[in-house]
Amino acid sequence: MKKKIIAEISDITKTFGGLVALSNIDLNIKGGEIFGLIGPNGAGKTTLFNILTGMYRPTKGFFKLEDVELTRLPPHLIVKAGLARTFQNIRLFGTMTGLENVMVGCHVRTNIGVVGAILRHKGARQEEERIKDRARSLIDYVGLNASSAQAASTLSYGDQRRLEIARALATSPKVIALDEPAAGMNPTETSQLRELLVKIREDGITILLIEHDVKLVMGLCDTVAVLDYGIKIAEGTPSEIKSNPEVIRAYLGGDVP
């Protein structure tokens, strides 16, 4: 069965002064796939994530999630609409525990509100317990049980990256955008990450993945798009991308696995 398009990125262009960071980018991401976004440093990958998640406004173009246009909405409404992300430079609340970080993500979907949280009436307390349970199960899901009570800043790099994924999952996303989740991970951590991403896909969440680990990308992704100097130079299956002469010239070099 052909998969339906869940996210439509159309003609996205972004300039910073005279620099064209992204030029007329079109991408159609299918529901339930892992879509890889690769390309050399400075190609515009993170800039695209920043536009999709409402952190930057595009100069031109639009972005739709399940036919609802999200372009230019503020970040919190984009998360509510179902797009969550992690960051290339980890952004956790360092002094909060792992569990608390994930609870913050869960709050996107609660009805407590500020007054409820302050008064802590019975309904709010019950909801807080439900949130804690859900955060615990997400910590379990990403395999961080042993370290959930530690301050986030004391966790290993690989664990902090997994915690960021748990926090993003806590917002109940339809699409999760991961910016270099394997960066700084050792081979064991990378293979655990691969398993986690497969599990997330199996659970029906679409993954948009920026990653420099070519082996990981080619082994995991259903579709791969390649950016170079803000231009999409190729899009296809991993085997199509691996054998594309322009991709080899711009990015893969002699590095094709």
Ligand X SMILES: Nc1ncnc2c1ncn2[C@@H]1O[C@H](COP(=O)(O)OP(=O)(O)OP(=O)(O)O)[C@@H](O)[C@H]1O
Please give the helix or strand (H or E) that residue 28 lies within, else none.
Answer: strand 19-30
Shortest spacing between CB 181 and ligand X, in angstroms: 13
Question: According to the binding rule CB under 6 A, does residue 54 interact with ligand X?
Answer: no
Candidates 35-43, 100-108, 131-139, 196-204; binding stretch for ligand X (CB under 6 A):
35-43
> With the C-alpha atoms ordered 33, 249, 246, 47, is the resulting torsion angle positive or negative?
positive
Question: According to the binding rule CB under 6 A, does residue 150 interact with ligand X?
Answer: no
Token pair, residue 169, equals 């999952």
Distance CA 77, CA 34 (A): 23
Shortest spacing between CB 95 and ligand X, in angstroms: 27
Please give the helix or strand (H or E) that residue 34 lies within, else none.
Answer: strand 34-38
How many residues line the site for Mg ion (CB under 5 A)? 3
Question: According to the binding rule CB under 6 A, does residue 46 interact with ligand X?
Answer: yes
Q: Which of 22, 37, 44, 46 touches Mg ion by CB under 5 A?
A: 46
Question: According to the binding rule CB under 5 A, does residue 53 interact with Mg ion?
Answer: no
Which of ligand X, Mg ion, none does residue 68 bind to, with CB < 5 to 8 Å depending on kind?
none
Match 């159309």 to its residue by tokens: 10
Helix segments in 94-248, DSSP class H: 98-106, 113-119, 122-141, 157-169, 187-202, 214-220, 238-242, 245-247
Question: According to the binding rule CB under 6 A, does residue 88 interact with ligand X?
Answer: yes
Q: Which is nearer to ligand X, 44 or 158 (CB)?
A: 44
Token pair, residue 96, equals 């909060």
Phi-psi region of 184 (alpha: psi -120 to 50; beta: other; left: phi over 0): left
Question: According to the binding rule CB under 6 A, does residue 177 interact with ligand X?
Answer: no
Which residues of this chain interact with Mg ion, rule CB under 5 A? 45-46, 88
Which residues of this chain interact with ligand X, rule CB under 6 A? 16, 19, 21, 39, 41-47, 88
